[in-house]
Amino acid sequence: MDVCSNLKSDIKKQFDEAKEDYNQVGGWTAFISGQWMWHLIHKAFANYWESADVEYFETKYQTKDKSKLSQKLIAAAAKNSTMLGGVTGAVISVDEISAIVTGGGGGVMLPAKISIAAAALGAEAILMIRFQLELVANLAKLYGVPIDTNDPEDILVIFAFAFGGTAADTAVKSGMKVGGKLAGGHAKAAYNNQVLAALKSIAAKIGVKILQRNTLKYAIPIASIGIGSGWNYAATKAVGKIAIKHFEQRLD
């Protein structure tokens, strides 16, 4: 098998494993409400932060130039996300997507066939965000910006502005901005109810938008695999771009 085939096989394996995480983050109910995003950030980010190793990146890519390394890291995450779109598009039919759009949007109990497709959509969303969370952790370590893994604000501001829409609007209204911190740059020992509610609301809006995009991008016959791969690539590049901007401004 060549490198590309090995990568696709590895992503297919991770995709199958992500289907198990689908139920752990709350299943379809959590996905249509967007609550899965908050659960996944708390569940996954700390591990990526702990394992991020700048020396390893410097050795692997034969450079210590932050700009070059950041582009290498973004390119690798975008490639994984692109492959993921192809894997998902190959296992979901347009009929199943149509059934979700017309009958599964508000229901907790889904027919078996639709439930399988819903789990696949959820698995793709989970794995794509995992790729992007790992990218954010790697870039933060690369730029020397400390992140409190118990405080998701840095992550949410990056994702909110990368994905845009109501999530970005809510972030702005809450006082969040790229390069800023609601707590004035000091880690919050504990959330007050207002801040916690705002962060959860932003996470939910991001989660809903990702599920909506995942559903719509596979609703077009034949072209769905290419659309899915293309959107995953663009979304991951956007996360990387906003992350770099955020971390550079935090350093300033």
CA–CA distance, 5 with 7 (Å, rounded to integer): 5
| pLDDT digit string, tens, across residues 10-62 | 999 999 999 889 989 999 899 999 999 999 999 999 999 999 999 999 999 99
CA–CA distance, 37 with 204 (Å, rounded to integer): 6
Matching residue, tokens 């949007």 = 105
Query: Which residues in the chain land under pLDDT 50?
Result: 106-109, 185-187, 189
> For the whole prediction, is pTM greater than 0.85?
yes
Give the Å distances, CA to CA, from 244 to 18, 71, 143, 158: 27, 10, 8, 9
CA–CA distance, 17 with 27 (Å, rounded to integer): 14
Give the Å distances, CA to CA, from 241 to 69, 154, 158, 163, 224: 13, 14, 9, 12, 26
What pLDDT was estimated at residue 213? 84
**First-last CA distance in the chain:** 46
Q: For the chain, which residues make up each domain, given as ranges?
A: 3-251
* Residue 186 CB coordination number (10 Å): 8
Q: Is 22 exposed, middle or buried (0-12, 13-18, 19+ CB in 10 A)?
A: buried
What pLDDT was estimated at residue 240? 97
What pLDDT was estimated at residue 187? 44
Give the Å distances, CA to CA, from 165 to 56, 59, 158, 169: 36, 39, 13, 6
What pLDDT was estimated at residue 30? 93
What pLDDT was estimated at residue 179? 85
